[in-house]
Amino acid sequence: MRPRSCNGSFHSVFFIGLLYFCYAEVMEYERRQEYILTLSLTTNKQYAESNSVINMRSSYDISPKDSL
């Protein structure tokens, strides 16, 4: 039969390991969410800039009858 103290220490080590694993998963999730948010903001900014360039070009288009 094993001593009771050995069993208790195993449970405490297991519990600490489980807490560390959960903490690491939460930190990884937050980092991933921050990256997704940054990526989405960057994409939205690029989309807005490309639309403004397209709008500027279309407003200065010269039609063939204007060039005559």
Each residue's pLDDT expressed in tens, for the chain with a length of 68 residues: 555 555 668 888 899 999 999 999 999 999 888 888 888 877 777 777 676 666 655 555 555 555 55
Question: What was the pLDDT predicted at 17?
Answer: 93
Q: pTM of the predicted model, to two decimals?
A: 0.46
C-alpha to C-alpha distance for 40 and 56, rounded to whole angstroms: 24
Nearest to 56 by CA among 67, 66, 64, 48: 48
Residue entry with tokens 């948010």: 37
Domain ranges of the chain: 26-56
Question: What is the distance between the alpha carbons of residues 12 and 2, in angstroms, rounded to a whole number?
Answer: 16
Whole-angstrom distance, CA of residue 41 vs CA of residue 23: 27
